[in-house]
Structure 1
Amino acid sequence: MKLSQKQAVFENEVLTRFDLFKSLFLTLPFQRVKHTGTLLPFFTTHCEQGVEKNSTPEAIIDSFFQQYEQYIQDEDRVDLLFRIVQYIERQVVLFDAIEDSSFQSVGKSDEIGGLNSLFRLAQNDGKLKKQLVEKLRDFSVRLVLTAHPTQFYPGPVLGIINDLIEAIKANDISNIHLLLQQLGKTPFIKQQRPTPVDEAISLAWYLENVFYKVTSGIQSKIDDELEVPSEDVKQLIELGFWPGGDRDGNPNVTVESTKKVAGMLRTILFRCYYRDFRVVKRRITFKGVESYLENLQEIFYTNSFHTVDNPTDDTTEILKNLHAIREVLHSLHNGLFVELVEDLIRKVNTFGCYFTTLDIRQDSSVLRQTMDYLVQEHGEEVGVELNQLTRDEERKQRALRFTENDLAYQEDAEPLVKDTIGVIRLLKDIQRSGGERAAQRFIISNCQQASDILGLMQLFLWEGWETDKLFVDFVPLFETVDDLSRAAAVMRTLYSNPHYAAHLKRRGNKQTIMLGFSDSTKDGGYLMANWSIYNAKVELTALAREYGVDLVFFDGRGGPPARGGGKTQRFYASMGTEIENKHIQLTIQGQTISSQYGSLDTAQYNIEQLLHAGLISEIKQNQGDTLTEKQKQIIEDMAEASHTKFLSLRNHPLFLTYLEALSPLKALSSINISSRPVKRNSDKDLRLEDLRAISFVTSWSQLKQNIPGFFGVGTALQWAEENNLWSYVRNLYENSGFFNTLIDNCMMSMTKSNFSITSYMKDDPTFGEFWNILHDEYTKTKNYLLKLSGATVLMENYPVERASILEREKIVLPLLIIQHYAIRILRAGDLSAEQEEVYRKLIGRTIYGVVNAGRNLA
């Protein structure tokens, strides 16, 4: 399909239908202020015209009220702004539903390809088919749902969206109208801040309604197309889960919440199994299977609807009965309805008795604090002195003897110490009820030295775990630019440590290393962050191959390109020979969960994209994907130039002041979106190192400046041109999948930027100079990106995505004007306490719609 044809389909299937269905909003039940639905189009146009004139938000909104004063009483003005926000929030939902309903016809054919294209190649190439089958023996994709719920739709709204998608597919106008009315009366905003368990319940909606169904279908598709015996293929699609387990900087995650989430996941899974089993039981009414069905009935029903004390892992027993039923069907009943049994077998093989692996994460400083406490309390018993842990790294490692014990804590111990010890002990119970895969990873944030890992391993042995039965993987997380540069040295020390090497051998000689994009971007800027991670992967891969370790990279990716999002699958398809890519593991979070995995169609497509990327990257690599030494040096020098430019911005005295004063950063801490605080050390003054990357990136995106996604890239490209290296950079863009994706994702960030909204700031006496620094780099980057790509507009090669982004930006423009208006009114002061609270609430409400519309902004 040509580009113009794809655009035509999108305009017809999405944009035209959106314009038609928007008329239904005129009858939505928001009538506290009359004429809201009628005034909204005029307000949108007024905002667009005001932005074109570089007007301030106050001038735009005040002039609108003056122009339509016959419809709006003075006392109704702020209330009208709230109603407009409600309308636009629901317009975003309508646009999402229309776009998702058109997924099959519009598609994403400008991406790298899916499994079908790979299967077609394999049908005509016996060698390729054999390679694929061999690769599938030890390959997997793990998607980890994280505790960053920047997708703000609660469960009831998600249900309406899915019903709306089906109604739009059927062009059922009457039902669409009813669903929009239901949407109008359904709250988008939670009255209370969610707990970690609430977050887990919210994300479990996707497990139950999407992933449970899709993963089995994809596995079946691969089995059928490649004719691979099921026993020859390990679990291809794995799921991970952070809500309830990720306690890094979140004091609301406790041992009790972790326990509740693990139990909740098990119960939801068994209810899914029970629904499927009822279909099996209804169809398979033949002789020879009665006892097996009775056994399964007892297991599924009891675990679904009764509280089971000390549940155990029933996976083996379930599979034993299902295999027996399958055998009877084949031998006595001509395989009738055997596909129902095989589908359930695939699901049980994938999800066991746990549904998704619950990861535990904690910061290294908390783990050190716990180690110090236990040594202080039980030093003589374990033969370690506290001063040994405060010396240099080498002596600290020698002090760890990896002895087994069962150490307790006193009631006056710090809460984080109690929690760390408690969750280490709890992991045994979770594994007992769900098997090893239920909870087998402990991730160490801010990992800076080998003793961070070795110390955690010692903590497990001091808390009742036995060396030979330590079924836990210790996963270091390297994120800042400095930590990434030291990662290989840390891992070499670990691989050389006899105790850790023995543990690794018992774990199948497989080491998982997590690399985080979020804090690395906040620390070093877009280009340096991506290059630091790429370099670290090359070094860590070489080291793992030297030691014979099976290396797994777990990428901590957020939604936007600034946090490792964007065209993720293209990165995995272009790793080259120097980076281990046997397994793909990544976090999915925020709006990325709903936009890419919110429906059966989109989830299947995006999972298949990742599978295709991982399979093809090793079997049919492009020559340009493995960078030459010259290319590496050029990117290294460009990253340094970009880093220097970014640091000059970070070190500017107005950097945080600008963000606090003009963005809704402060409001993020007061709205009920997450159980996690906006920043670490929340009781202290704001420091950049304490500010969470998700809050950092979200604040810039609400300003429509997206600094973390491009700043410094233009300077780097200018440096290359001035040093006569432009032809090399052009060659990189044309031939290196890594560099091409890096640049294309930067273009996506910039397409979602709009400096015109804040152009009134250029002459501001306080922030004007700073705003111009940001705008100048934006303009420079845009010009160089267009020159590099040979395009006339950003994202020219992705016309459907570009059209979608521009329409979404148009929808939320009024929200941004309202948000910036409220922020400036608060800054001006002279408000009563009641008025201040109203405007703060208005700011918070606008954040929801902007983030939801952006789909990968936070």
Structure 2
Amino acid sequence: MQNEEKTEKFRQLVENKFQIYNSLFMSLPYDKMTNIGMLLPFLYEESKIGYEKGKSPEEIVEEFFAKHTELETEEQKTELLFKIIQYIERQVVLFDSIEDAAFCELHPPSETGTLHQLHERALQEHLVTATHDKMRGFSVRVVFTAHPTQFYPNSVQRILHDLRSAIMKDSVTEIDMLLQQLGKTPFLNREKPTPLDEAMSIIFYLRYVYYDSLGELYRKIKNSFGTQDFKLPHDIFQLGFWPGGDRDGNPFVTAEITQKVAQELHFSILKSYYEHLKNLRRRLSFRGVSEVLEQLSHELYDAIFKNQNITTRHILSRISEAEKILTEQHNGLFHNLLEDYKDRVQIFGTHFATLDVRQDSRIHQQVIDEIIGEKSGLYLKNITTEDKLKWLLETETVLNPDDFSGITKDTLQNISNIRSIQEKNGERGLNRYIISNSDEVKDVLNVFGMFRLCGYSEEEINIDIVPLFETMEGLDAGEKVMKELYELPAYRKHLERRGNAQTIMLGFSDGTKDGGYLKANWEIYETKEQLTRISDENNIKVIFFDGRGGPPARGGGKTHDFYASQGKTIANHKIELTIQGQTITSVFGNKDQAKYNFEQLLTAGIENDVFKNSKKDLTVKERQLIEELADISFKKYSDLKAHPMFVPYLQEMSTLEYYGRTNIGSRPSKRGGTNELKFEDLRAIPFVGSWSQLKQNVPGFFGFGFALNELKNQGRFAEVKSLYKGSDFFKTLVLNSMMSMNKSYFPLTYYMKNNRKFGSFWNILFDEFELSKSMMLELTGFRMLMEEEPLSRKSVKIREKIVLPLLSIQQYALMKIQKDEGNREAYEKLVMRSLFGNINASRNSA
């Protein structure tokens, strides 16, 4: 579809439907929300016109009260603002559902990055065999995390799911009923979710979205690419799972929780098999086959409800038994249905998704120091790191977790429990231990040593130990750390037992927070190149696992373009990335979207190796230019971070401190237990999210425009234009940064430029935004941001219109907090309530 055709289709399928259903929505009798639909357009107009005239949110909201209401007390006004927030939240859900329902028609199979397009191209260029070869050893793993960017409770998620289906059928009666339900359903959790709650929320998607979407997608690839000589590997798509295993900064994730989540994953996949088998038996009702499948049904039931053990191998043996009878006695009737069932068992095993364990290296060091202090006979004051590691790798001591307390006991217990989890869920159920803030060899060896202390012989450590390099220092140290590990005999033997493969995680979110957008992405690119080189030299297959968030400021953005732009200097054995919170709902939230986005990842990885494209490989000159731009932007961003107003601005003028007070996630919003707010303790999500709520999106662009302008001033802008045209990697960075800017709206905070304390700081941000916007438009030749992406641009525009009154309310409340101590509590609640709606409306903005 051409851009004009796409825009018209979006207008018909999304924009027009939203207008129609929104009018229905406006007339519904919500609790205490009558006539809000009539008042809302007035607040929107006051906001739109007011900001263009430079008015403050406080002036705009007060004028709205004066002109359009007869309210007099602060209490009455606050109550109305709460009702407006509730109303807008439901408008956002309606728009989400309409946009999701139109997904398939807006994304035809012929689009770039689809399997259809990959297959057609492979045929035309006589590269089907090369594509088969790549598929044999390639896979995509999407890892679900519990990071708190999803603010819909489960009850609302289910309505969203049903509303989408009703819109696809154009069933006005059903839509009307669901909108009424939505009006009366609370949008807030009464209490903070526990890690188990978070896990169950994502398990809902595993059961009702991914079981079918991955099963159907596997069958689609098998039908397209399968031949007598090529069997599609069952692990080409994999699911990963962090809720209940990720204890980095989350004291509520304990050994007991990890075990419970592993159990829930196990039971959930067995329930999916049990339900699927019910439908299968309706068709396979033939003598012999029916009895075998009935027996399997009883065995699955007993495994679910009587906790009897069942293995993947056993389930497959029953299916094979039924298959044999079906083929020999019943002409293979409905064999395709049985084959599909068998494929799913091989894809999901008895684990559904692989549970990862993650902890911070500094916590591990505390644990090791306590153990050595109590058990080694060594004096900690005089002992060196080398002495600690020597003891750790040579000692025959086996510890009892019950001999310790607190984090040491829990860490050891969790490692001990991995045995029983692997017995129940299979080795695929839990086979990775990720170490945050890795920047030294000891960080990896501490984990290896703890397994030995928990009684595992080296042959029994069926775990990949995964360092996570996430800060600028960590990324710089990556090559040296891995070189030393590869040369260490004990660790090298461990890698041999793990198939000479090493997974390394790279943190985009913290990298961007630490180094700015351009520098972080370039640093990660170079780190991947260095780690590829050192791994190849040591005959190790390196797999990169990217900790990416939803928006560009946290490593997100156009994922297919990012992975398709990696050149031959970066290992491409597998694509692994995190998706989190709201990105799960907005990008992988239903079967059509999930299949499309899994396809996009798979084709990106395959295209990279199979099809030649000079734009993927950087020349020496291009590398030098990106390096220069990255260094200039890093200096500009570092100066901003060092500004004395940087942290105070976020603390006093943004929603930063309110993230930790919302009931949206089990994890605290900052590391460390002190009250003092330090930049290094800030987590990436509230950090990026707070800039997003201000509609400033600073981490997604700051320093980029300055760097481009520096080269322009040197008379070298033609070089940058050549780089943009010649490098897919650089082009992707530019387009993703433009996405961040397109979701910015500085008029919302124009009032800050005259603030005595923060005025000059605000002007630094605004000047860089204006400079970055003009430089990128000049570079790309676009007339507007995101010109080549009409669907995304239209979606953003409508969402921004829906959410503008919400932004006004939030900024109004933040201004009132600084002036009116008497009503502080009510205004703080307004800030937190509007925080939910802003994020949900701006899909992928935090």
User: Do Structure 1 and Structure 2 share a fold, with TM-score over 0.5?
Assistant: yes
Q: Are the equivalent residues in 2 in contact too, given 1:512–1:552 (CA < 8 A)? A: yes
Mapped to 2, the partners of 1:727 and 1:506 lie a distance apart of 52
Q: Which residue of 2 aligns with 1:5?
A: 5
Q: Which residue of 2 aligns with 1:358?
A: 355
Mapped to 1, the partners of 2:550 and 2:266 lie a distance apart of 28
**How far does residue 31 in structure 1 lie from its aligned partner after superposition?**
4.6
Name the aligned partner's letter for residue 839 of structure 2. Answer: V
Residues 267-308 of structure 1, C-alpha deviations (whole Å, 9 max, x = no match): 11111110001112222121222552243112211223x141
Q: Which residue of 1 aligns with 2:510?
A: 519
Mapped to 2, the partners of 1:55 and 1:443 lie a distance apart of 49
* Equivalent position to 1:803, from 770, 777, 794: 794
Matches within 5 A, 1:268-307: 268-304=268-304, 306-307=305-306
Larger CA deviation: 512-521 vs 712-721: 712-721
Mapped to 2, the partners of 1:45 and 1:416 lie a distance apart of 54
Q: Are the equivalent residues in 1 in contact too, given 2:472–2:511 (CA < 8 A)? A: yes
* Equivalent position to 2:478, from 487, 510, 535: 487
Name the aligned partner's letter for residue 210 of structure 1. Answer: V
Q: Which residue of 1 aligns with 2:844?
A: 856
Q: Are the equivalent residues in 2 in contact too, given 1:313–1:434 (CA < 8 A)? A: no
Matches within 5 A, 1:647-658: 647-658=638-649
Query: Would you say 1:102 and 2:102 are equivalent positions?
Result: yes
Q: Are the equivalent residues in 1 in contact too, given 2:226–2:232 (CA < 8 A)? A: no
3-state SS, counterpart of residue 401 of structure 1: helix
Q: Which residue of 1 aligns with 2:456?
A: 465
Q: Which residue of 2 aligns with 1:239?
A: 239
Mapped to 1, the partners of 2:282 and 2:72 lie a distance apart of 61
3-state SS, counterpart of residue 499 of structure 2: coil
Task: Give the CA RMSD over aligned residues.
Answer: 1.7
Query: Would you say 1:840 and 2:828 are equivalent positions?
Result: yes
**How far does residue 402 in structure 1 lie from its aligned partner after superposition?**
4.3
Q: Which residue of 1 aligns with 2:763?
A: 772
Q: Are the equivalent residues in 2 in contact too, given 1:30–1:36 (CA < 8 A)? A: no
Mapped to 2, the partners of 1:328 and 1:537 lie a distance apart of 51
Mapped to 2, the partners of 1:682 and 1:815 lie a distance apart of 32
Mapped to 1, the partners of 2:699 and 2:152 lie a distance apart of 25
Name the aligned partner's letter for residue 660 of structure 1. Answer: Q
Q: Which residue of 2 aligns with 1:408?
A: 400
**How far does residue 395 in structure 1 lie from its aligned partner after superposition?**
5.1
Q: Which residue of 2 aligns with 1:250?
A: 250
Larger CA deviation: 683-692 vs 287-296: 287-296
Q: Which residue of 2 aligns with 1:789?
A: 780
Mapped to 2, the partners of 1:175 and 1:753 lie a distance apart of 36
Q: Which residue of 2 aligns with 1:335?
A: 332
3-state SS, counterpart of residue 701 of structure 1: helix
Query: Would you say 1:433 and 2:424 are equivalent positions?
Result: yes
**How far does residue 409 in structure 1 lie from its aligned partner after superposition?**
4.2
3-state SS, counterpart of residue 781 of structure 1: helix
Name the aligned partner's letter for residue 782 of structure 1. Answer: K
Larger CA deviation: 23-32 vs 456-465: 23-32
**How far does residue 847 in structure 1 lie from its aligned partner after superposition?**
0.8
Mapped to 1, the partners of 2:568 and 2:829 lie a distance apart of 52
CA, structure 1 residues 813+165, in 2 after alignment: closer, same or farther (shift >3 Å)? same
Mapped to 2, the partners of 1:71 and 1:651 lie a distance apart of 45
Mapped to 2, the partners of 1:794 and 1:307 lie a distance apart of 58
Mapped to 1, the partners of 2:209 and 2:405 lie a distance apart of 40
* Equivalent position to 1:533, from 510, 524, 535: 524
Residues 656-710 of structure 1, C-alpha deviations (whole Å, 9 max, x = no match): 1111111111111111000000001133311010010101000000000000000
**How far does residue 842 in structure 1 lie from its aligned partner after superposition?**
1.2
CA, structure 1 residues 60+109, in 2 after alignment: closer, same or farther (shift >3 Å)? farther
Name the aligned partner's letter for residue 243 of structure 2. Answer: P
3-state SS, counterpart of residue 415 of structure 2: helix
Q: Are the equivalent residues in 2 in contact too, given 1:574–1:622 (CA < 8 A)? A: no
3-state SS, counterpart of residue 577 of structure 2: strand
**How far does residue 829 in structure 1 lie from its aligned partner after superposition?**
3.4
Larger CA deviation: 147-156 vs 471-480: 147-156
**How far does residue 836 in structure 1 lie from its aligned partner after superposition?**
2.3
3-state SS, counterpart of residue 578 of structure 2: strand
Q: Which residue of 1 aligns with 2:322?
A: 325
Identity among equivalent positions (%) equals: 45
Residues 543-563 of structure 1, C-alpha deviations (whole Å, 9 max, x = no match): 111001011000000111011
**How far does residue 255 in structure 1 lie from its aligned partner after superposition?**
1.0
Mapped to 2, the partners of 1:335 and 1:248 lie a distance apart of 51
Residues 523-557 of structure 1, C-alpha deviations (whole Å, 9 max, x = no match): 11111110110010000001111001011000000
Q: Are the equivalent residues in 1 in contact too, given 2:234–2:347 (CA < 8 A)? A: no
Q: Are the equivalent residues in 2 in contact too, given 1:663–1:700 (CA < 8 A)? A: yes
Residues 587-643 of structure 1, C-alpha deviations (whole Å, 9 max, x = no match): 001211101111111111000000110111111131121111221111111111001
Mapped to 2, the partners of 1:296 and 1:779 lie a distance apart of 65
Name the aligned partner's letter for residue 398 of structure 2. Answer: D
Q: Are the equivalent residues in 1 in contact too, given 2:478–2:527 (CA < 8 A)? A: yes
Mapped to 1, the partners of 2:487 and 2:379 lie a distance apart of 24
**How far does residue 88 in structure 1 lie from its aligned partner after superposition?**
0.5
CA, structure 1 residues 397+111, in 2 after alignment: closer, same or farther (shift >3 Å)? farther
Name the aligned partner's letter for residue 347 of structure 1. Answer: R
Q: Which residue of 1 aligns with 2:261?
A: 261
3-state SS, counterpart of residue 689 of structure 1: helix
Mapped to 1, the partners of 2:302 and 2:754 lie a distance apart of 69
Mapped to 2, the partners of 1:355 and 1:74 lie a distance apart of 52
Mapped to 2, the partners of 1:72 and 1:717 lie a distance apart of 52
Mapped to 2, the partners of 1:290 and 1:175 lie a distance apart of 38
Query: Would you say 1:508 and 2:499 are equivalent positions?
Result: yes
Q: Are the equivalent residues in 2 in contact too, given 1:313–1:435 (CA < 8 A)? A: no
CA, structure 1 residues 595+17, in 2 after alignment: closer, same or farther (shift >3 Å)? same
Residues 35-76 of structure 1, C-alpha deviations (whole Å, 9 max, x = no match): 222111111111111111111111111111110234777642
**How far does residue 2 in structure 1 lie from its aligned partner after superposition?**
1.7
Mapped to 1, the partners of 2:772 and 2:430 lie a distance apart of 44
Q: Are the equivalent residues in 2 in contact too, given 1:110–1:798 (CA < 8 A)? A: no
Mapped to 2, the partners of 1:765 and 1:74 lie a distance apart of 27
Query: Would you say 1:550 and 2:550 are equivalent positions?
Result: no
CA, structure 1 residues 266+791, in 2 after alignment: closer, same or farther (shift >3 Å)? same
Residues 325-367 of structure 1, C-alpha deviations (whole Å, 9 max, x = no match): 1222122212211122111111111111111100000000111
Mapped to 2, the partners of 1:285 and 1:825 lie a distance apart of 70
3-state SS, counterpart of residue 358 of structure 2: strand
Q: Which residue of 2 aligns with 1:642?
A: 633
In the alignment, structure 1 segments of 5+ residues that lack a partner are none
Q: Which residue of 1 aligns with 2:577?
A: 586
Q: Which residue of 2 aligns with 1:151?
A: 150
Q: Are the equivalent residues in 1 in contact too, given 2:502–2:543 (CA < 8 A)? A: yes
3-state SS, counterpart of residue 696 of structure 2: coil
Q: Which residue of 1 aligns with 2:612?
A: 621
Residues 434-481 of structure 1, C-alpha deviations (whole Å, 9 max, x = no match): 110100000000001011101110110110211111100000000111
3-state SS, counterpart of residue 660 of structure 1: helix
**How far does residue 723 in structure 1 lie from its aligned partner after superposition?**
3.0
**How far does residue 740 in structure 1 lie from its aligned partner after superposition?**
0.7
Mapped to 1, the partners of 2:730 and 2:419 lie a distance apart of 44
**How far does residue 320 in structure 1 lie from its aligned partner after superposition?**
0.8
**How far does residue 403 in structure 1 lie from its aligned partner after superposition?**
4.4
Matches within 5 A, 1:558-597: 558-597=549-588
**How far does residue 397 in structure 1 lie from its aligned partner after superposition?**
4.2
Mapped to 1, the partners of 2:183 and 2:69 lie a distance apart of 26
CA, structure 1 residues 232+804, in 2 after alignment: closer, same or farther (shift >3 Å)? closer
Q: Are the equivalent residues in 1 in contact too, given 2:139–2:235 (CA < 8 A)? A: yes
TM-score, normalization: structure 2?
A: 0.97
Name the aligned partner's letter for residue 55 of structure 2. Answer: S
Mapped to 1, the partners of 2:394 and 2:705 lie a distance apart of 51
3-state SS, counterpart of residue 121 of structure 1: helix
**How far does residue 108 in structure 1 lie from its aligned partner after superposition?**
7.3
Query: Would you say 1:391 and 2:384 are equivalent positions?
Result: yes
Name the aligned partner's letter for residue 401 of structure 1. Answer: L
Q: Are the equivalent residues in 2 in contact too, given 1:149–1:590 (CA < 8 A)? A: yes
3-state SS, counterpart of residue 671 of structure 2: coil
**How far does residue 19 in structure 1 lie from its aligned partner after superposition?**
1.3
Query: Would you say 1:756 and 2:752 are equivalent positions?
Result: no
Q: Which residue of 1 aligns with 2:725?
A: 734
Mapped to 2, the partners of 1:488 and 1:396 lie a distance apart of 23
3-state SS, counterpart of residue 680 of structure 2: coil
Q: Which residue of 1 aligns with 2:714?
A: 723
